[in-house]
A and B are shown apart, each in its own frame.
Chain A
Amino acid sequence: MSNSVSSTLVSLRLRGAKLVAPVLGFGALAMIPYALTLNEIHLLSAMLIFGIFAMSLNLLVGFGGMASLGHALFFGAGAYAVGLLSFHRDSGFALSLLVGLAAAALLALVVGFLVRRARGTAYLMITLAASQVFWGLATQWKAVTNGDDGLFGISSPSILGWDFGSTVTYYYVVLVVVAGVFVLLTAISRSPFGYVLRGVRDNEQRMRAVGVDVDRIRHLALVISAVIASLGGVLYAYQERYVGPDVLAATTSGDGLLAVALGGGAVAGPLVGGLVVGLLEDVVGSYTDRYLMILGILFVLVAIFLPRGLAGLAQSLGDTVRPRRRAAEQAIEQRVEPAQAEVTETEGAHHG
């Protein structure tokens, strides 16, 4: 009895510790513009936007176990909605935002049917092929998309007469959206939907057996993740005031996967990974032409040496520095062990 009380206390303390880091992190992000030049703030906005993209992709890859190579399609849908509406219609922010989110949701609905039965490599192939088609469309349908030249003429974003296009204001808007997405994804990960999604990832058969509509859960995860990605795309378009086919390219999807893998962890990991990849893109790109080579080598190194990302690395470092905390966490994990042991025992039955 006293044992369970003390472990509940430890668990509460750990949960508190988990809250401290994000609060400090977002606090620092809110203060940091005072120490930066306008160019640096602009870069930080770009990094945060990429962080949104990485977080959205992680809902699919990390929570859902669906490694996708076509997520740029949804980011690009948001960006191109802004670009096309500005270029051809001179529409405002609110309409572009709505159209962007709706377009991504619609595309995700369609792609979701295509990947309904796909797992693993098939999922990668179909998502990659789908996104490449739209990339091809963006480069080749010049009358509408202006081809490789891309779409210019995106005006400063404003809502109800409030213009928030200046670098610093826009940074804070982006930061608020990032914080909102962060909270939303954390909430999703702790919701019943989040648990079921992870259950589908870990043991699809079992989830089916307990009556979960696996197809619908996977489809829903794709749509939610696509809508969040397109939000990043909309912000991207207003940040750069330009949209080109690169946002739809496979390399964008790949960079997203790199951010997810580099970050590791649940919600914060991919955000940090996204910030790092966003920073690298800019810094490496401005110092050398061999940007692609360096990024490629980074992909390879992360794949080989960082199986659980920076979060995994931090955890193993933390375990060496603070062994007692690790012991406490293990004690909590052990409370659920009997149930898990039962799962692994019966798991062999499915593989026939």
Chain B
Amino acid sequence: MDYWIALLLNAISFGMVLFLLSAGLTLTLGTMRLLNLTHGSFFLVGAYVTFELERHGVDLALAWGAAVLATALCGAVVFVLLRPTGEDHLRQTLLTFGVLFVIADAALVIVGGDPAILPRPGFLEGTLDLGLLDYPKYRLFLVAVGLGMAGLLFWFQYRTRAGMMLRAVVDDPEMARGVGINPTVLAAVTFVVGAGIAGLSGALGGVLLGAFPGVDLQVLLFALVVVIVGGAGSIGGALAGSVVIGLVNTVTIAFAPGLALFSMFGVMLAILTLRPQGIAGKALA
């Protein structure tokens, strides 16, 4: 019994990291119809900035803040670079792929090729007695952060004017433009904020997923599958997709580690066959 509860909690905490990771990606897909391949690089930047700053004696909370700001800045740069490519998918893909290479290589030069062991704050070391079982505090912290971020994003999407505009753009960009919404400004804000959240996922989730050369592509695959399963452009979809993939991945790793990739792919396959627009999404153009 304890075992199953622990497994479930593992799945949920991992799912929350996936949610932080994919929230930005799904929103960019919805608002800009853009597949941003640098999204995994934001995770890498967030993790490495945290690692380097903490190593040089910076307070961990400050390092987390710096990681978010640094990735948001990276996001802003990518957004500006993307401007001349218009809506050409081939050019967008090339550009974001190029930036992925540049960031990966820069990270290799600055941090080196060894896996970085990310720090955890002292008060989150050890386990918490949950009655039925002792469970690592850090993972519970991840669940709290993930749910908090989900709440924040839901509140933003459904309770604020800007969020309403965002939903309008996701639903119908032409109409949104017609009623006076400026999609460019909205897209820029979404992109930068999404990058920052991905940076946070790297800073916090790097403890679980690791931070090493190549992790950028690995987490990008996770985020892609989450978005395909959940449906592009929807925060609720990203949350649902994250939990589903978190569960599937954790359970397969527990019982048949070699099949982890395939189980994820299997879920994706099933969703694409039965419900191509994803759990909560609209058909992507």
B15 to chain A, nearest CB (A): 18
* B155 beta carbon closer than 8 Å to chain A: no
* B11 beta carbon closer than 8 Å to chain A: no
Bits for B71-94, please: 1 = Cβ < 8 Å to A, else 0: 000000000010011001111111
B244 to chain A, nearest CB (A): 15
- How far apart are the CA atoms of A298 and B95 in the complex, in Å? 9
* A140 beta carbon closer than 8 Å to chain B: yes
B85 to chain A, nearest CB (A): 6
Given contacts A133-B262, A304-B95, contact A296 B268 (CB under 8 A): no
- How far apart are the CA atoms of A124 and B90 in the complex, in Å? 9
Question: Are A129 and B99 in contact, CB atoms less than 8 angstroms apart?
Answer: no
| Interface core residue of A130, A254, A299 (most chain B CB under 10 Å) | A299
* A118 beta carbon closer than 8 Å to chain B: yes
Given contacts A120-B285, A122-B284, contact A300 B81 (CB under 8 A): yes
Set of chain A residues within 8 Å of B99, measured between Cβ atoms: 296, 299-300
Q: How many chain B residues touch the partner (CB < 8 A)?
A: 48
A262 to chain B, nearest CB (A): 9
Question: Are B95 and A300 in contact, CB atoms less than 8 angstroms apart?
Answer: yes
Question: Are A132 and B217 in contact, CB atoms less than 8 angstroms apart?
Answer: yes
Q: How many chain A residues touch the partner (CB < 8 A)?
A: 45
- How far apart are the CA atoms of A212 and B97 in the complex, in Å? 34
Set of chain B residues within 8 Å of A126, measured between Cβ atoms: 228, 268, 272
B54 to chain A, nearest CB (A): 26
Set of chain A residues within 8 Å of B262, measured between Cβ atoms: 133, 137
Bits for B87-122, please: 1 = Cβ < 8 Å to A, else 0: 011111111011111101110110000000000000
B-side interface mostly: helix
Given contacts A67-B90, A304-B84, contact A117 B283 (CB under 8 A): yes
* A323 beta carbon closer than 8 Å to chain B: no
Residue of B nearest to A295 (CB): B101
Given contacts A122-B284, A125-B228, A133-B265, contact A141 B272 (CB under 8 A): no
Question: Are A128 and B224 in contact, CB atoms less than 8 angstroms apart?
Answer: yes
A65 to chain B, nearest CB (A): 9
A-side interface mostly: helix
Given contacts A120-B89, A129-B221, contact A141 B98 (CB under 8 A): no
Question: Are A114 and B104 in contact, CB atoms less than 8 angstroms apart?
Answer: no
Contact of B34 (CB < 8 Å), options: A121, A296, A301: A121
Bits for B178-209, please: 1 = Cβ < 8 Å to A, else 0: 00000000000000000000000000000000
Question: Are A303 and B98 in contact, CB atoms less than 8 angstroms apart?
Answer: yes
- How far apart are the CA atoms of A128 and B224 in the complex, in Å? 9
B181 to chain A, nearest CB (A): 18
A108 to chain B, nearest CB (A): 15
Bits for A102-120, please: 1 = Cβ < 8 Å to B, else 0: 0000000000011001111
Question: Are A117 and B33 in contact, CB atoms less than 8 angstroms apart?
Answer: no
* B57 beta carbon closer than 8 Å to chain A: no
Set of chain A residues within 8 Å of B273, measured between Cβ atoms: 113-114
Set of chain B residues within 8 Å of A257, measured between Cβ atoms: 90, 93-94, 97
B→A interface (CB under 8 Å) = 29, 33-35, 37, 81, 84-85, 88-95, 97-102, 104-106, 108-109, 174, 217, 221, 224-225, 227-228, 232, 258, 261-262, 264-265, 268-269, 272-273, 276, 283-285
Complex A-B: 17 CB contacts under 8 Å: A61-B90, A67-B89, A69-B37, A119-B285, A122-B232, A125-B224, A133-B264, A251-B101, A260-B90, A290-B105, A292-B108, A295-B98, A296-B101, A298-B98, A303-B94, A304-B84, A307-B91
Closest 3 CB pairs of A and B: A299-B98, A296-B101, A303-B95
